[in-house]
Structure 1
Amino acid sequence: MDVIIVDDQGIVRDGLKMLLSLNEEIRIIGEATNGEELLVFLERMTPNVILMDIRMPVMNGIEATKAVKEKYPNVKVIILTTFNEDEYIFNGLKNGADGFILKDSDLKEIIKAIKAAHEGTLLLHSDVTSKLISALRNVPESPQAPTAEKKDLSKILTPREIEVVEQIMQGKSNKTISATLFLTEGTVKNYVSRILDKLELKSRSELIIYLKEK
């Protein structure tokens, strides 16, 4: 997997390059200090995954993620930050981020996130997941919203597709979903693709936001 590291701190970029170079499946093909530098680099070379810092000068990680996803929808973006705040989680997901982990995550977690994003699975660090769930519980919504949401989905998706959606909303990977629903991973991937097509969405992150804001 080809990876680009985007962070305005050289010590962070160097540390990540050193750690990730220990994994034979990962190849660091470039780095940038902000979103604008990243976009210039992408004109020459396209990676599989981008590790993206949030707070950067010139163009921050949220703006850069949005720009990348608009022009290079197949490139996966993992937001990597020391901050665990609601606005970054929501804005990152809304702009198409494929993962959200903390900078102090260990190497195993970072590699796991890169592989998951590359395979099309949305992976959030456990601390981020807890924060997201807590924040979503505090979002006010109309008393009739859940009923309307369920009714709409039942008209669009098959019962099996709704089961897959429920698993995705629990943050489960394709592998875990396949074991839970007694399906092959390939079948689960096909279900996910069909669900996104039917709902006119581009990614799992968009699906989560769509269902929570419905």
Structure 2
Amino acid sequence: MAAVTEPIGVLLVDDDPLVRSGLTMMLGGADDIRVLGEAADGAEVPAMVEKHRPDVVLMDIRMPGLDGLAATEALRARPSAPEVIVLTTFDADRHVLRALRAGAAGFLLKDTPPAEIVAAVRQVAGGLPVLSPAVTRRLIAHVAESDGDRRRETAAGRLALLNDRERDVAVELGNGRSNAEIGAALYLSVPTIKTHVSSILTKLQLNNRVQIALLVHDAGLLD
């Protein structure tokens, strides 16, 4: 008999009850996803996460109380934190970039088709970001950074923790390449690339590949 897989638990955080209702209906049509609870303010998130133990949190960025950005930063700093997908109304939002730096697995526009939202929840629950490094680079290009020199120096210092091969892999990730593409470019097997990616995440204390891409960009290695 096949093992029974638990449905993916989702927490919805948005101050608009109509948005929460719409998301509940979208996700409710998927047999492998279950909405565990709803919150209207970022301040409610810690208690809701403690109560429901969701796998994924769909988090609105802009809320009148504690916004989704502060809530994401606090949540991702917790041990065994759920994955976070931030919701926004436009893709050049500076706040989205900050949420990604804090460890959000990606972002979705609120007018994203339902099937894509469901697919994104599944992908994030499976440990994969929903935002490719290539999309991250486009986002960065739209958002002017005011502290570029300081950020570059900090990023370069962190990347100095990597060995030469890990640094090569990190740069390829920053260029938006898949594990197979990186392996072909560096003449390494896909399992070896996966090992290097895991080592990079551990050494730099990052959550996902998107954060690696951001750090490589910040260090100026993609210029």
TM-score range, shorter chain: 0.7 to 0.9
**69-78 or 25-34: which moved more?**
69-78
* CA deviation vs aligned residue, 1:132-187 (integer Å, no higher than 9, x gap): 14237977866xx69x95x985872352x345423432445xxx424662645x65
The reply on whether 1:97 has 2:75 as its aligned counterpart is no
Question: Counterparts of 1:110-189 in structure 2 under 5 Å?
Answer: 110-124=117-131, 129=136, 131-135=138-142, 149=156, 153=159, 156-159=162-165, 161-171=166-176, 176-178=178-180, 181=183, 183-184=189-190, 188-189=193-194
Q: Share of identical aligned residues, percent? A: 34
Greater shift in the superposed pair: 64-73 or 54-63:
64-73
Encode CA deviations 1:66-103: one digit per residue, 9 max, x unaligned: 11111245310000111323411221112221111111
SS of the aligned residue for 2:12 comes to strand
- The superposition leaves residues 92-116 of structure 1 with CA deviations (integer Å, 9 ceiling, x where unpaired) of 1122211111111112221222222
Alignment CA distance shift 1:128-1:60 (3 Å): farther
Residue 124 (structure 1) shift: 2.4
Deviations along 1:16-35, one digit per CA (max 9) or x if unpaired, are 11111111121111111111
Q: Check if 1:204 corresponds to 2:206.
A: no
Under a length normalisation based on structure 2, what TM-score does the superposition of the two structures give?
0.76
Alpha-carbon distance between aligned partners in 1 of 2:121 and 2:216, rounded to the nearest angstrom? 25
Choose 97-106 or 110-119, whichever is displaced more.
110-119
Q: Match for 1:23: what amino acid?
A: A
Query: For structure 1, which runs of at least 5 residues remain unmatched after alignment?
Result: none
Please report the TM-score for the alignment, with normalisation by the length of structure 1.
Answer: 0.79
Distance in 2 (CA, whole Å) between partners of 1:210 and 1:180 is 18
Deviation of 1:13 after TM superposition, in Å, equals 0.7
Report the residue type matching 1:119 in the other structure: G
The aligned runs of 1:65-76 (5 Å cut-off) are 65-76=72-83
How far 1:54 sits from its partner (Å)? 0.8
